[in-house]
Amino acid sequence: MILSIESLTKDYTGFNGFREKILSAATLGLYAGTFRKKALNKISLELGNASKGEIVGIIGPNGAGKSTLLNILSGILKPTAGQIKFQGNVRSILELGVGFHSDLTALENVLYNGILWGYSKKFLLEKKDDLFSFAGLSGFESHPLNTFSTGMQMRLAFSLATLSYADMLLVDEALAVGDASFQQKGVRRFQSFREEGSLVIVVSHDIHMMVSLCDRMILLDQGRIVDFGNPSSVSERYMDLIAEHSHDNAQSAVLSDKNQFQAYLMDSRNRKRNLFFTKERVLFVFEFHSPAVLDQITVGIHINDARGIRVFGTNSRLLKFSGLQIGENETSIFKFSLTLNLGPGKYSAGFSVHRGLSHGTDCFFWEEGILDFEVEQTEEIGFEGISFLEPELKIEKANDASSDES
């Protein structure tokens, strides 16, 4: 399924005050008010694949145009200019509101909404057990929806929307309210859609889930495509973008010059290395020079795996070092000592300097992937997966008090 978007532009119309609203209603929309907001600016893209499906993620800060793009693709909004070419059926789960009515029972809502989504009543009745079971709501069919939590409603909506194959599935933050196990089920369902040839477009603020899920990602900012392609590099660009935005807000680009910092890894014998073994104690060293006084700062470190998934992150504030200060023209060295309880593979580390708990506000420095390193598994430690959780096994026999440990 191929989706082709050419020079897509969306300008929202709006009103400054009641006088404009009255005038617009009285002229039946001829007068469209004076407020304008450009949500999408000449976006051109080709998504999907002629031979197989694809999962594409859209990320970006609030107001970037992500939801507008999905609304236009689903046919809810009309673009101001540009063209969209796609042949096939489209199903969407947009926003957290699911369109269910609280006074109707879960099954009634499923039937009414399902028919609206293009399912036949017969099909819905045949599949209702699967649907409720996937949502983890078996036995709740005849319960009024006002007895359901938001998460339960969302699970039901998700289960309904993905009950059968769609050529294009648009999902906006639909997994945000589900618990971890439901998120995993949702991800598996997206993957099965892709295997069947569907184009799945997902919007989410959960970057790590997106990196692991998507084949390609789009980074939108202020209605334009900033980056498009490999999820790992797009997510890194997104982190940089957030830092740039908070940089602008802080107006304190004191550490933006890359010559003002150095980073390296050291083992327990103070040797600089880039290859380590699982369970090894490693120092992540970050030196930087500040041309101006920085007070109340937080210094952070984050480690990503090869897919761009964040495996660990911490900062001085979380480690109970509050209110750090660096003087003018002072070089400070920060050493984070970590035990690499990681599975074998390639990793990268980044550092940040900001105020507060996260780099979303007053960010002075943010750099992804400054250090690349590799972890290997030793023969004495055998395990599977991305982390080593220092397992212990205790076996007890029910009939006698003796026990063995290994």
Partner 1 sequence: MKKIITQINFFKLVLVLVKRDYAMQYAGTLLGLLWLLIQYVFQIAVYYVLFGIVFSDGGGRFIYQGDYFLYIMSGMMLWIPVSEMLLRSCSIIYDNKTLVKRTGMGMKLFIWIPVVQGLIYYFLLFGISFAAGFLRGGLHVISPLAVFYGAAVILFFSGWSFIFSKASLILKDFTPVMRLILQVLFWLTPIIYAVPEEYQRYLAWNPFYGIIELNRWMFHPSYRDLTYVDFQGMFALILLSIVSFLISRIRLESVALDQI
Question: Considering only residues 138-157, where is the footprint of partner 1 by CB under 8 A?
Answer: 144
CB contact at 8 A, 243 and 340: no
Least distance (Å) between residue 121 CB and partner 1: 9
What is the token pair recorded at 225?
């495509």
With contacts defined by CB under 8 A, name the span among 76-84, 305-313, 319-327, 329-337 that binds partner 1: 76-84
Q: Using the rule CB under 8 A, is 136 a contact of partner 1?
A: no
Least distance (Å) between residue 111 CB and partner 1: 9
With contacts defined by CB under 8 A, name the span among 87-95, 129-137, 147-155, 285-293 that binds partner 1: 87-95
DSSP secondary structure of 88-150: S-EEEE-SS-----TTSBHHHHHHHHHHHTT--HHHHHHHHHHHHHHTT-TT-TTSBGGGS-H
Least distance (Å) between residue 157 CB and partner 1: 9
Angle between helix axes 150-161 and 121-134 (nearest 10 degrees) is: 130
Burial of 394 (0-12, 13-18, 19+ CB in 10 A): exposed
Number of H helices, E strands in the chain: 8, 20
Of the candidate residues 94, 166, 219, 353, the single one contacting partner 1 (CB under 8 A):
94
Q: Using the rule CB under 8 A, is 103 a contact of partner 1?
A: yes
Strand partners, 349: 303, 371
Residues in the chain: 406
Question: Considering only residues 13-42, where is the footprint of partner 1 by CB under 8 A?
Answer: 13-15, 21-22, 24-25, 27-30, 32-33
Least distance (Å) between residue 22 CB and partner 1: 6
| DSSP state for residue 76 in the 8-state scheme | S
Shorter beta-carbon distance to partner 1: residue 24 or 212: 24
Angle between helix axes 180-195 and 150-161 (nearest 10 degrees) is: 10
| DSSP state for residue 193 in the 8-state scheme | H
Least distance (Å) between residue 31 CB and partner 1: 9
- Count residues contacting partner 1 (CB under 8 A)? 37
Q: Using the rule CB under 8 A, is 125 a contact of partner 1?
A: no
Instruction: Enumerate binding residues for partner 1 (CB under 8 A).
Output: 12-15, 21-22, 24-25, 27-30, 32-33, 71, 74-78, 90, 92, 94-95, 97-99, 101, 103-104, 108, 112-113, 115-117, 144
